[in-house]
Amino acid sequence: MRVLQVASEVQPFSKTGGLADMVGALSRALARKGHQVDIVTPAYRGVLAHAVGAKPANWRFSIPLGGQWEQGEFYRLEIESGLTIWFVDHPRFFDRPGIYNERQVDYPDNAARFIFFTKAALLLARFLDPNPALVHCHDWQAGLLPLLIHHAKVSRPWPEAPATLMTIHNLAYQGWFPASQWGLTNIPISWFHRDSAEAHGQMNLLKAGLMLADALTTVSPRYAREIGTPEFGCGLESILLRREYELTGILNGVDYEEWSTTANSYLPHSYSVDSLEGKAANKRELQAEMGLPDEPDIPLFANISRLTGQKGVDLQLDALRLLLYEGAQFQFVLLGSGEPALEQAYRELAAENPRVVSVRLGFDVALAQRIEAGADFYLMPSRFEPCGLNQLYSLRYGTVPVVRATGGLDDSVMDILENRDLATGIKFQEASARALAHAIRKALAVYRERPLLDHLRRNGMKADFSWDRQANEYVTLYEHLLHEI
């Protein structure tokens, strides 16, 4: 089977979040199962230099955007047998400091940039030889493509047009633009209506994909149920309820070649489920690196996150303040960046409690791995979380996750009260600082019961969330979809 993955980010070439990890890892897993996988993604600044071996594909093209024609070119890189990446090169659109924005301000021409990108993907879908049987579109940046394919089938002969699958990674990001931007699609205005991309008088690119793709997926079973409700549906719940029988939730996986506690150059000390001594050594080194006292009898909590309301880091801030006021004995490290007010609040918390709290603003891949390996508990108090990846990394690293029971967090972590024998972490229900503080107190109690702590650690480290396993679910879905169409 030949599959074309269409994504605005692909690890290791571009990344702002879990989308990039998912597309890269799923594609590798599919290729290793014998499928032909092509990925198309923009050539952002520095990407072609990083993509060693990428070469011009001798495929230059002109694409209409409204009344203008834009010139582009494909670069091709064969990653491994069965896996090829096609980079869309258009310097004016993609050679910029950011992917979607700068200083948290979206680029004003994002509609043009990603409509151009999806039109380039349409060329690949149409002219690759052999044609892909299925086009897998990811998030709003690829949301127009199912509509473009549908329009192409209707307006000109295309007997071998591929099936389309639309994956929602985070429904909160939908690609809203003024209706006047519809002209960039070069599709007649009669196609702009509530059963395509029109929403409340504006253009919504994700909605176009949700309406016109042959099937839909999202990144965890619980999130698939949640987004059919007003609380989580972000205004699109009626569409998702209408298509609930064509919507599948498949939990994301982990690339265990990258996230490994053995033979990992990022980690000072290796360890395994059968030998946890190295984890204690990693904790000592992390404490030293983050400027915290070497106190093995005090649990070390961690969080690596975008500092936004979705991630519940404001609840985390208040919960930590409450526990500090109570005199609880713990340490906490944070790695992340985001809203300036939250960044400043965490700076102040660390300055006020230098022996307890350490904060690094920004992102550092190596430090993220060392934090996962050195921490005892990992906090994820998200208000909503389509899948989440850090709780999966934490499980493999023997770092007990403390999570809010929402989306993929609920699907991937087993609480002690749910099943003591199979438990891997601690869950709480209410999105509040009080509920999180209570969950942290439970973690403090677990830390004092070392046999229980080791039981949770070992259960988590033995859990299998590999992409080899999760990719089988996508293959089954692909085959079903092709059989049905």
Q: What is the residue-level pLDDT of the chain in tens, covering all 485 positions?
A: 999 999 999 999 999 888 999 999 999 999 999 999 999 999 999 999 999 999 999 999 999 999 999 999 999 999 999 999 999 999 999 999 999 999 889 999 999 999 999 999 999 999 999 999 999 999 999 999 999 999 999 888 888 899 999 999 999 999 999 999 999 999 999 999 999 999 999 999 999 999 999 999 999 999 999 999 999 999 999 999 999 999 999 999 998 988 999 999 999 999 999 999 999 999 999 999 999 999 999 999 999 999 999 999 999 999 999 999 999 999 999 999 999 999 999 999 999 999 999 999 998 989 999 999 999 999 999 999 999 999 999 999 999 999 999 999 999 999 999 999 999 999 999 999 999 999 999 999 999 999 999 999 999 999 999 998 899 999 999 999 998 87
What pLDDT does 396 receive? 97
> Domains in the chain, start-ordered, CATH in brackets?
2-253+468-484 (3.40.50.2000), 277-464 (3.40.50.2000)
- Preceding amide of 162 cis, omega within 30: no
d(CA 109, CA 120): 17
In residues, how long is the chain? 485
CB atoms closer than 10 angstroms to residue 361: 14
SS3 track for the chain = CEEEEECCCCCCCCCCCHHHHHHHHHHHHHHHCCCEEEEEEECCCCHHHHCCCCEEEEEEEEEEECCEEEEEEEEEEEEECCEEEEEEECHHHHCCCCCCEECCEECCCHHHHHHHHHHHHHHHHHHCCCCCCEEEEECHHHCCHHHHHHHHHHHCCCCCCCEEEEEECCCCCCCEEEHHHHHHHCCCHHHCCCCCCEECCEEEHHHHHHHHCCEEEECCHHHHHHCCCCCCCCCCHHHHHHCHHHEEECCCCECCCCCCCCCCCCCCCCCECCECHHHHHHHHHHHHHCCCCCCCCCCEEEEEEEECCCCCHHHHHHHHHHHHHHCCCCEEEEEEEECHHHHHHHHHHHHHCCCCEEEEECCCHHHHHHHHHHCCEEEECCCCCCCCCHHHHHHHCCCEEEEECCHHHHHHCCECCCCCCCCCEEEECCCCHHHHHHHHHHHHHHHHCHHHHHHHHHHHHHCCCEHHHHHHHHHHHHHHHHHHC
449's tokens: 């019961």
Are 321 and 313 contacting, i.e. CB atoms less than 8 angstroms apart? no
d(CA 246, CA 242): 9
d(CA 58, CA 394): 44
Q: How far is CA 328 from CA 14, 325, 356, 445, 454, in A?
A: 40, 8, 10, 11, 22
d(CA 317, CA 350): 11
What pLDDT does 160 receive? 86
Beta partners for residue 138, in sequence order: 167
441's tokens: 């107190």
Q: How many CA atoms lie within 13 A of 179 on its CB side?
A: 13
What pLDDT does 363 receive? 86
Backbone angles phi, psi at 146, to 5 degrees: -55, -35
Q: How far is CA 56 from CA 71, 88, 119, in A?
A: 14, 10, 19
Q: How far is CA 84 from CA 68, 130, 254, in A?
A: 30, 14, 21
Residue pointed to by tokens 């000072």: 268
Closest CA to 183 of 173, 175, 191: 191
